[in-house]
Amino acid sequence: MIAILRKSASDEAVGHLISWIEGKGLITHVSRGENEIVIGLVGDTTKIDPFLLESMDIVERVQRVSEPFKKANRKFHPEDTAVDCGHGVKIGAGHFQVIAGPCSVEGENLIRIARRVHAAGATMLRGGAFKPRTSPYAYQGMGADGLDLLLEASAELDMPVVTEVMDPRDVQLFVDKGIDVMQIGARNAQNFPLLKEVGKTNVPVLLKRGMSGTIDELLMAAEYIMSEGNGNVILCERGIRTFETRTRNTFDLNAVPVLHYLSHLPVVADPSHATGYTRYVEPMALAACAAGADGLEIEVHDCPEKAWSDGAQALTPDQFDRTMERIRAIRSVIAADHE
Ligand code: PEP
Ligand code: MN
């Protein structure tokens, strides 16, 4: 971290600042230029609040030199990480997967949808049993019974399941039942007790970006999970809130290469929640593939008009068949490019 001081700072004030910094166990390097005084802070800079430092009268600007995320950072882990999701399915480091299924687990239609997405080439099954809904009167999900339906489908088709956990008190239930991948939804991207709780397990976590979350906030959320010991984190771009109203969210595809640049963790993109409309899901799925996503999460429903949640963005199984074909076409170009 570097603090740039005002030219007018008195020697006494600079001395005070240096002893305050050194009192926190850091080493300081001071250089006095003609127009400014620069203090380099070396050591554990997590002990310093950069905003507090910048608020001091003699400080003009503070710049971070290293990112506050360490475990998720590519600098300390240059190789891509592949996360093992069970059933022989890995994601990241060249392994590409498609996660598909309904928004909510609703009942026996789950297995029908699961068979179709599996036949189309999806390698992981999704479905929410615990649903984060804006209205408390909207469908809240089947709960534990929904997890059982997912697990039955997973056993029949030999594919891992991805399902959202919302409450730290439910994490143990997910572990006991053998859920393959726990999803942390956008609304919980900064639910720190939940992030810590899933961090205490070794179950892979699909971590979605918060609706108004920056890329750095997503990486710090990953850091919460990893700092508890769980390194099996998959990042997910699912669209952010902007001024645009023609789509449910704005798909920040920049995040895909940016996250790959900053982090070694796998990056999944979710064109369903990012666009909110069936008609836009396929083109944006293809764009995410082309941008280098390690996987896609796509909502599929056999009867979208009757879906209990997110019907407007669901692909039918027939539409999903076609989308998978086109995903394979884009992937083959990318794979050839890497040879
Ligand atoms: C979902 O996957 O159904 C979901 C609720 O996603 P998000 O948290 O991205 O809104
Ligand atoms: Mn959904």
Whole-number Å distance, alpha carbon 310 to ligand 1 midpoint, is: 9
Q: Are the C-beta atoms of residues 103 and 301 closer than 8 Å to each other?
A: yes
- Per-residue pLDDT at 334: 85
Pocket of ligand 1 (CB under 6 A): 103, 128, 132, 185-187, 208, 238, 273
pLDDT digits (tens, 9 = 90+) for 30-48: 998 888 899 999 999 989 9
Give the DSSP letter string of 98-125: EEEE-SB--STHHHHHHHHHHHHT--EE
Q: Is the pLDDT of residue 238 over 80?
A: yes
State the closest ligand 1 atom to the C-alpha of 183, by its place in the atom list counted from 1.
Answer: 2
- Average pLDDT for 215-242: 98
Residue nearest (by alpha carbon) to ligand 1 atom 1? 103
β-strands 233-237, 205-208 pairing: parallel
- Average pLDDT for 99-128: 98
Terminal C-alpha separation, the chain = 40
Structure-token match 């809130």, residue found: 241
State the closest ligand 1 atom to the C-alpha of 187, by its place in the atom list counted from 1.
Answer: 8
Nearest alpha-carbon partner for 36 in 1, 9, 6: 6
Whole-number Å distance, alpha carbon 70 to ligand 1 midpoint, is: 27
Query: What value does the mean pLDDT of the chain take?
Result: 96
Would you report the helix, strand and coil content of the chain in percent, each value rounded to 5? Answer: 40, 20, 40
Whole-number Å distance, alpha carbon 264 to ligand 1 midpoint, is: 23
Ligand nearest to the CA of 132: 1
- Per-residue pLDDT at 204: 98
Q: Is the pLDDT of residue 323 over 70?
A: yes
Q: Which of 103, 140, 273, 296 to mutate to test the pocket of ligand 1 (most atoms within 8 A of CB)?
A: 273
**Tokens at residue 111, please?**
């297995």
Whole-number Å distance, alpha carbon 273 to ligand 2 midpoint, is: 6
